[in-house]
Structure 1
Amino acid sequence: MSLPADFLTGARRLIPPERLFDDPLSTLAFGTDASFYRLIPKLVVRVESEAEVVRLLHLAARYQVPVTFRAAGTSLSGQAISDSVLVVLGDYWNGREIRDGGNQIRLQPGVIGAQANAVLAPLGRKIGPDPASINACKIGGIVANNASGMCCGTAQNSYQTLAGMRLVLADGTVLDSEDERGVAAFRQSHAALLEQLAELGRETRANTALAERIRHKYRLKNTTGLSLNALVDFDDPLDILTHLMVGSEGTLGFISSVTYNTVPEYPHKASALIVFPDVDTCCRAVPVLKQQPVAAVELLDRRSLRSVQNQPGLPDWVAGLSDGACALLIESRAASQSLLHEQLAQIRSALAPFPVEQQVDFTEDPAVSGQLWAIRKGTFPAVGAVRATGTTVIIEDVTFPVEQLAAGVHRLIALFEKHGYDEAIIFGHALEGNLHFVFTQGFEDPAQVARYEAFMGDVAELVAVEFGGSLKAEHGTGRNMAPFVEQEWGSDAYQLMWRIKRLLDPQGILNPDVVLSDDPQIHLKNLKPLPAANNIVDKCIECGFCEPVCPSNGLTLTPRQRIVIWRDIQAKKRAGIDTRELEAVYQYQGIDSCAATGLCAERCPVGINTGDLVRELRASQAAYPDRAAWLAKHFAGALKGVRFTLRAADLAHRLLGAPRLQRWSEGARKLSGARLPSWTPALPQPVKLVPLLDQWQSGKPRVVYLPACISRSMGPARSDSEQMPLIDKTRALLEKAGYEVVLPAQLDGLCCGQPFASKGYPEQAEAKRNELLAALREASRNGQDPIYCDTSPCTLSLVDGEADGLDIFDPVRFIRTHLFQRLTFTPQAQPVAVHVTCSTQHLGEGHALIEIARRCSTNVVVPEGIHCCGFAGDKGFNLPELNDHALRTLKPVVQHCSEGVSTSRTCEIGLSSHSGVDYHSLVYLVDRVTCPKSD
């Protein structure tokens, strides 16, 4: 059924066309969240202000059009999808305000949870909720789902740490609970609504049995249904209203900001992995630990441990554990090390009576602790990675009373066996009796759906009825558990929830069928297909963890969306459907505009690099292999051509001036149909031909210096304060540190192969890479000497695979491993902006780059939210909108900086263009603030 024409007309008047999406590609892409459900919205609206939300709700109410709000789409239970109007957050919902020295923080719904914690970290504070998706999920979703996590428990979730809220009701009314005048006006304008909420509270508190049931339910970790505890915890209807919004999953209103009471983030931590011989012993230890100074206790059954037992860094004994073994991963935190040691002694003493099969005792080493927590975090993706193509991975989320935890684990395992879920694993937040169980499920035929239906029916009966637990502890009710809310809560509480829903959303237009549904089969409908598309991406679980680091997010498609659309194209082709029109749109949206830097793989739970898929698709379209082969053989000549072009552009710059040349360049690019590259004042000057260095035996340590082809052709921009080419600056720094610098022979003809690979010519890329490795082997005397590459993308291309045993360094690793001990650093006071390139992150040197910058400057700025600059080799020239979009927030953050540093020349061009600050290699900064050590 289509949307009313008058509604669409009104929406087009309200929202600019570039933020309205109704085409098949966009609606499918946005219609996918992390759950195993799919609805295709008829219209997607990207909102940028509260005023737009208000007017949109007025419009929706007038024409009775259902509306669903969505933040990051990492929800697991189907609460962020719609077959009507899907409202998604744009760029301008990122406000945050720290109050009272960090004891409170006010956040808009678009702030990613980890970003909130990053601004609080210097103050030793954090927000209470700590969901596993905190690096991707947004505050709007965290509050709307009352998300918690490993350490949050029931005491530090959004409900318990809420200090204030600004919200928009279904009728478009805005209420800010921290605005006294606004509250007074609301009490008058909505007196009837507030009186009805107050009456619901009085009725509920007077119903002793119901009130006690509510209190019992929320002593457990519980997000099933609406937050009825608001009716027994508060008597002021305004407090009732704001707390009802927590966990309402967008069914009662829109949350436009929230103020949290923050919690301490203690700096001293220790972790241990204790393996008990059986589930009963393990679970008996949990109530004991609940009385101890522990921050987190995670349970892992034997199946969980088996799923990750081959993970690097795990003790060898994990593979040999007994079949009944069950482990607890324990963390304790404290404000001081001495207090931490007291706490550890107390915990060890409490656990002394319990038999232990194996253990990693408490460690304060962050590396070892990181490995232990990687075990826990690796369990979910371990199941997802081994599932059969076409099936989905489902993670359920229940709570048992802690005193019945062992029995609950045994009964769940029995249900797995009864229904044939042999791969299912159990892990969870033991202190709260909160267990996650993960299993794989196909929905391709009725028998598979019936199996799932029977299993979930048994789970609901077991958890909610037999054990009096909760069917959703922290993942939200969604569509998944909506049919079971009454079974868990009973008729009185269930009808109370419906009264609240009808009071605050009388037309039922806010996220229908989520949390509360009249359809007992809603959890079995609109099940998401996951058809085979390509081996590279078939394991994708569509969680959306990749999206925050993607430079095209908000411009075209994200990695998740690229996979969704490619899956759809392949499924349609197999069904005999003509996909030419869809593929034509996908060419730009999915292929051309992908930076293919692979940062998505760094965030992906199953390690998928969507850039690999895009490169494969580009290779299938690559039409000029002969030209690529010719270019590979004549690479030195190609570099001469680049220098000639840069020389001509620089001459035009001098003759015409930057403003006129930029206007002419933009006009020529338009006339060429965007085939001509974009010119920018940050375009480099050409570098003169690199002379070979005489090699002599000076008695100094040798280093083979590999200037990347970019460094051999592109010098500083005419406007850059640093005018010495990178090659000369690097050589000067290395010689200052006491090295004899050696260049490979036939340097101008050498290339790491990365430019060929990015264009879809992997054979030519590999040939150039092998040629370069051979030259480096000869120059380094068969690997005796370290090899220094001045650009991190080229370093990554060389070390990503077999490098013949050569020790190849990017600038960051070489500086921290070799130059720290040879140079004295005297930090400057001038502020410096740091850009950590994608390749630096892949090389694992991101934090090291920032630490080097901090040795060089007392004021280092790392812009939030810019993970990739979007220049992506030459895309900054040929697809400048990607670079523009990725760096759209850069200038206000760094304009006070004296300079910017990075480790990739092309990235620095885009960064300089969009910041108004000269970006150049880290080497310039290090050279300026160092001198040789006196000894």
Structure 2
Amino acid sequence: MQHQSAAGGLASEFETILPKERVFADPLRRLAYGTDASFYRLTPQVVAVAENEAEVLALLEICRRRKAPVTFRAAGTSLSGQAVTDSVLIVLGEGFGGFAYDESNQVARLGPAIVGGEANRRLAPFGRKIGPDPASVATAKIGGIAANNASGMCCGVGQNSYHTLASLRLALADGAVLDTSDPASVAAFRRSHAALLDGLAALSAEIKADETTAARIRDKFRLKNTTGYAINALVDFDDPIDILAHLMIGSEGTLGFLSRVDYRAVPEYRDKASALVVFADLATACRAVSALKSAPVEAVELLDRASLESVKHKKGMPVEVDALGPDAAALLIESRAANADDLRAQLASIAETIDPATTLNGVNFTSDPVESGRLWDIRKGTFPAVGGKRPPGTTVIIEDVAFPVARLAEATTDLRALLDAHGYAEAIIFGHALEGNLHFVFAQGFDSEREVARYASFMAAVAELVVGKYDGSLKAEHGTGRNMAPFVEREWGAAGTAAMRRIKALIDPENLLNPGVLINDDPEIHLKNLKAMPAVSALIDSCIECGFCEPQCPSKGLTLSPRQRITSAREMRRLRCDDPQAPQLTEMAAAYDYAGDATCAGCSLCSTVCPLEIDTGSYIRTLRAEKRGGVARTIAGGLANHFGATLNATRAGLAASGLARRVLGDKPVLAVSDAAHQALGLPRLSPAMPRAAWPAAPKPANGALRPVLFFSSCASRAMGPAAGDDSPPLLDVAARVFARAGFALVQPENLDELCCGQPFASKGFPEIAKAKAEQLAQHLATDGAAIPIVIDASTCATRMAAFSGPHFRPLDLVQFLRDEIAPRLTIKRLPETVAVHVTCSLRKVGLASALIELAEACAEKVIAPPGVTCCGFAGDKGFSHPELNDHALRHLKESLPAECREGYSSNRTCEIGLAAHSGRRYRSILHLVDAASS
């Protein structure tokens, strides 16, 4: 394409505006940053990360002069190909993550880079939330939510971005800025862009004068509809400023850049109840939906028989799915209210709406959060179930359409028949039934002309069914993108499509912004630039590149996220098959060593939010194992076999650094360490570097107390408190607290030779790691088969849980403190504000709440900074690759109030990084329990 050569020389010009570290022109990062959740692959020529509106305007000016098209990217969770480009990609940086709430007017002013879930978390204290609730709300950012008019299970039409928009701030391709909440900005824009506004006013007048077209537009937008532009703005408003603002919603970055979106916040009710109601056939279920339309329900989700089959083993399923007939269907119903009394009244009303005799399991609501959560997990598990079972090399496609609710049963039956006729028998259908909005999910390969032709034939048939027979919406909430662009005219006809083309020509006359998206003259654009999904590893092949993992990753924004690691691995595999000598492959592989491997924390938090539980950390560890040669394995084996000596060497190093700091002072030593790290790659000392912890002789246990075998991790055994911290050794604190609760702490013999193997596992020596873990399990089981076995570090406890047996059932210290120690103590809450850091291991095993509960029992106020997930210290990466720890904890200090002087966690190395970046002392949670129970 012509614009590719123009874009190729843009990187150096961008670097006159942005720091070099925010301009990417190398093959690896262009590919990685250019991927999104759709099944299209376009690689940008250059990627720029912008942190403010001024930078966006400057970048746009360069692109306009160079005639290089521009695409904006928020979180990249869009599904229809609207966030990929082969030209210039501008990615929103954290500077766009603004939040403010006008409580008097109940308006949330949001930057386009704040995640929807984070906006809701900040609105929760006011009993409010944003209206749009896409399934990706925990990952999707406001810019994308607004630009796609994304909706979800509860918001329907009335609470989507279009209908809850209060005002916005936008930048056009020509550099003009309009803030619709600012009268001065509006007045200036009316003067500078009179021709544009006059053109919109004229178009609006023409549409309104054509009663047939105006009526059709109003009727179409009673359903969820994101096909094409929001031309309902032309009939809903008279002022062209209002028209322009609402045209931006759902415009997919083709008309302008949204630098702020102001929503009228909607109520968030805490009292809620859910029920999964199963019916013998789809028609009966859909008749119930029609009846529920006027009932006090927040959401009604439809699951067809195939959907129920895909999640039949999920905990909480209220019926035996195998016993259901072939036409069975279910409705997941939720009702919410301002208080418990109102909720009870609403549930009674709903019960009167649905005749229990028409159901297979009655209408049984639960307000228990755990039970309700299980019901919603059943619904949310449908999409991953198909994605996880698809054949290798295929992608999973989720389409969404909307039908008139009155014809939902007939339309769903037709859609099922259409899927079967085109060979998609494994497909499932589910959706937001109150709005007639159905999703259908199926596996699709694009590795042969036959498969592409099958998909093309199917999509054409879908268009005829949805529009030709039912006059529904071809895209209800996922946006038009490239995927549905060829079918816009099929849905809207010549007049509607002509209006959309005029809108694009008026607002972006040079076609600079996201060309080819939403409006496209190529009838086969939806069949081009399809994503290759070659098999790489069973650990990651099921990845659908949705991006849900990214907010949890400590290296996202520093190097690569889990999705980007997988995307890059797939592309390198493709290149190895197609052209093993390609220079691009060599360059990508070299860059991946650092960006993909070295800066991966291996924390596996990505798996906790992945719909398919993909553990990218495990995959990276397999790459490390493949690269470890015989010499490296021999050295690692020697260290493992002489672990006591290894620990003593660590202690000696800590003692030497401590002596140097005492003699020379902190600043000179840390400065030299920084310089050595930069120049030679040596480990960098931390300002919170611990003192050496030398082993002490075991103390005899009190025979009158119940024994507990206590295993101290190697980090705890080697690393004592930081310089200046007069805390007693952790072992002494544990003995004291345990004794108060009636337990005698017992240490295993030959302790210094023991290790769970985690340091070796993270470095890519799985066999050595396994041998050390088995050695530890056998040793502790031999010494303590009949007594509790407690491990002080959550990382080690989580690892050793995999080696449990009849005589070895290790307990995390946090769990033991909460379940066994705290109930036996008299705890007086301290009048303090404390911080807690929930380690990755605690999150993965479901013990995050245990740490917070302990802290809340011991201190008046507890803060768990929401922006901090994995701390990025990752064993020793806080020393070898400190930039990972720096990046992961970059917001920690600002998230803690001045009165918070202490922090607590459950892993010694994590505490080093937390202390260094917060300016607070971080210690084991055991210290807080000790202080509160003294």
Q: TM-score if structure 1 supplies the norm length?
A: 0.97
Cα drift, residue 461 of structure 1: 0.6
Matched, 1:849 2:851: yes
Who is 2:697 aligned against?
691
Amino acid at match of 2:312: Q
Who is 2:652 aligned against?
644
> Which of 776, 783, 798 is matched with 1:779 structurally?
783
Q: Take 1:243 and 1:823, find their aligned partners in 2: how far apart are those partners?
A: 60
Amino acid at match of 2:722: A
Q: Take 2:335 and 2:412, find their aligned partners in 1: how far apart are those partners?
A: 25
Who is 2:180 aligned against?
177
Amino acid at match of 1:892: E
Matched, 1:612 2:614: no
Who is 2:336 aligned against?
333
Residue 301 of structure 2: SS of its match in structure 1? strand
Moved more, 825-834 or 632-641: 825-834
Amino acid at match of 1:821: P
Moved more, 51-60 or 475-484: 51-60
Q: Take 1:10 and 1:487, find their aligned partners in 2: how far apart are those partners?
A: 42
Check conservation: 2:774, 2:803, Cα contact below 8 A.
no
Q: Take 2:576 and 2:699, find their aligned partners in 1: how far apart are those partners?
A: 58
> Which of 652, 655, 664 is matched with 2:663 structurally?
655
Who is 2:576 aligned against?
573
Who is 2:709 aligned against?
704
> Which of 705, 715, 728 is matched with 2:720 structurally?
715
Equivalent residues in 2 for 1:538-557, closer than 5 Å: 538-557=541-560
Who is 1:436 aligned against?
439
Cα drift, residue 924 of structure 1: 1.2
Residue 18 of structure 1: SS of its match in structure 2? helix
Cα drift, residue 16 of structure 1: 2.1
> Which of 11, 15, 36 is matched with 2:14 structurally?
11
The one-character-per-residue Cα deviations of 1:715-757 (angstroms, maximum 9, x if unpaired) are 110133x521222122222112221212222212111111110
Check conservation: 2:27, 2:587, Cα contact below 8 A.
no
Check conservation: 2:606, 2:614, Cα contact below 8 A.
yes
Cα drift, residue 901 of structure 1: 1.2
> Which of 495, 502, 505 is matched with 2:505 structurally?
502
Residue 142 of structure 1: SS of its match in structure 2? helix
> Which of 887, 899, 902 is matched with 1:885 structurally?
887
> Which of 103, 111, 126 is matched with 2:129 structurally?
126
Amino acid at match of 1:535: A
Equivalent residues in 2 for 1:168-207, closer than 5 Å: 168-207=171-210
Equivalent residues in 2 for 1:196-595, closer than 5 Å: 196-315=199-318, 317-352=320-355, 355-358=358-361, 361-578=364-581, 579-595=585-601
Check conservation: 1:662, 1:679, Cα contact below 8 A.
yes
Cα drift, residue 786 of structure 1: 2.1
Q: Take 1:832 and 1:360, find their aligned partners in 2: how far apart are those partners?
A: 45
Moved more, 110-119 or 630-639: 630-639
Cα drift, residue 5 of structure 1: 7.1
Amino acid at match of 1:687: A
Who is 1:751 aligned against?
755
The one-character-per-residue Cα deviations of 1:151-172 (angstroms, maximum 9, x if unpaired) are 1100111111111101101111
Cα drift, residue 126 of structure 1: 0.7
Who is 2:673 aligned against?
665
> Which of 597, 600, 607 is matched with 1:601 structurally?
607
Moved more, 799-808 or 172-181: 799-808
Check conservation: 1:272, 1:359, Cα contact below 8 A.
no
1:4–1:38 distance in 2 versus 1, CA, 3 Å: closer
Check conservation: 1:742, 1:779, Cα contact below 8 A.
no
Cα drift, residue 667 of structure 1: 2.3
Q: Take 1:245 and 1:212, find their aligned partners in 2: how far apart are those partners?
A: 22
1:584–1:7 distance in 2 versus 1, CA, 3 Å: closer
The one-character-per-residue Cα deviations of 1:52-109 (angstroms, maximum 9, x if unpaired) are 1111112222222100000000000000000100110112111100111682211101
Cα drift, residue 914 of structure 1: 1.1
Who is 2:23 aligned against?
20
Cα drift, residue 864 of structure 1: 2.7
Residue 47 of structure 2: SS of its match in structure 1? strand
Who is 2:798 aligned against?
796
Check conservation: 1:692, 1:745, Cα contact below 8 A.
no
Q: How many residues align?
A: 925
Q: Take 1:155 and 1:801, find their aligned partners in 2: how far apart are those partners?
A: 53
Check conservation: 1:549, 1:865, Cα contact below 8 A.
no
RMSD: 1.5
Cα drift, residue 610 of structure 1: 0.5
Residue 460 of structure 1: SS of its match in structure 2? helix
Q: Take 2:83 and 2:527, find their aligned partners in 1: how far apart are those partners?
A: 17
Q: Take 1:801 and 1:175, find their aligned partners in 2: how far apart are those partners?
A: 61
Who is 2:627 aligned against?
621
Check conservation: 1:234, 1:240, Cα contact below 8 A.
yes
Amino acid at match of 2:606: C
> Which of 734, 741, 747 is matched with 1:737 structurally?
741
Identity %: 53
Residue 300 of structure 2: SS of its match in structure 1? strand
Amino acid at match of 1:709: C
Q: Take 2:355 and 2:363, find their aligned partners in 1: how far apart are those partners?
A: 15
Residue 165 of structure 1: SS of its match in structure 2? strand
Residue 910 of structure 1: SS of its match in structure 2? helix
Check conservation: 1:539, 1:606, Cα contact below 8 A.
yes
Who is 1:840 aligned against?
842
Matched, 1:678 2:684: yes
Cα drift, residue 9 of structure 1: 4.9
1:5–1:592 distance in 2 versus 1, CA, 3 Å: closer
Matched, 1:768 2:772: yes
1:805–1:368 distance in 2 versus 1, CA, 3 Å: farther
Q: Which runs of 5+ in 2 are unaligned?
A: none
Check conservation: 1:690, 1:712, Cα contact below 8 A.
no
Moved more, 730-739 or 433-442: 730-739
Q: Take 1:265 and 1:853, find their aligned partners in 2: how far apart are those partners?
A: 28
Q: Take 1:365 and 1:474, find their aligned partners in 2: how far apart are those partners?
A: 30
Q: Take 1:585 and 1:895, find their aligned partners in 2: how far apart are those partners?
A: 39
Residue 80 of structure 1: SS of its match in structure 2? coil
Amino acid at match of 1:820: A
Who is 2:147 aligned against?
144
Residue 3 of structure 1: SS of its match in structure 2? helix
1:94–1:484 distance in 2 versus 1, CA, 3 Å: same
Who is 2:808 aligned against?
806
The one-character-per-residue Cα deviations of 1:444-498 (angstroms, maximum 9, x if unpaired) are 1111011000000000010012101001111001000001011001111110011
Moved more, 840-849 or 244-253: 840-849
> Which of 163, 166, 188 is matched with 2:166 structurally?
163
Q: Take 1:514 and 1:634, find their aligned partners in 2: how far apart are those partners?
A: 62
Equivalent residues in 2 for 1:815-826, closer than 5 Å: 815-826=817-828
1:855–1:349 distance in 2 versus 1, CA, 3 Å: same
1:438–1:805 distance in 2 versus 1, CA, 3 Å: farther
Q: Take 1:5 and 1:514, find their aligned partners in 2: how far apart are those partners?
A: 22
Moved more, 305-314 or 440-449: 305-314
Cα drift, residue 430 of structure 1: 0.4
Q: Take 2:877 and 2:463, find their aligned partners in 1: how far apart are those partners?
A: 52
Cα drift, residue 311 of structure 1: 2.7
Check conservation: 1:545, 1:603, Cα contact below 8 A.
yes
Amino acid at match of 2:665: G
Residue 299 of structure 1: SS of its match in structure 2? strand
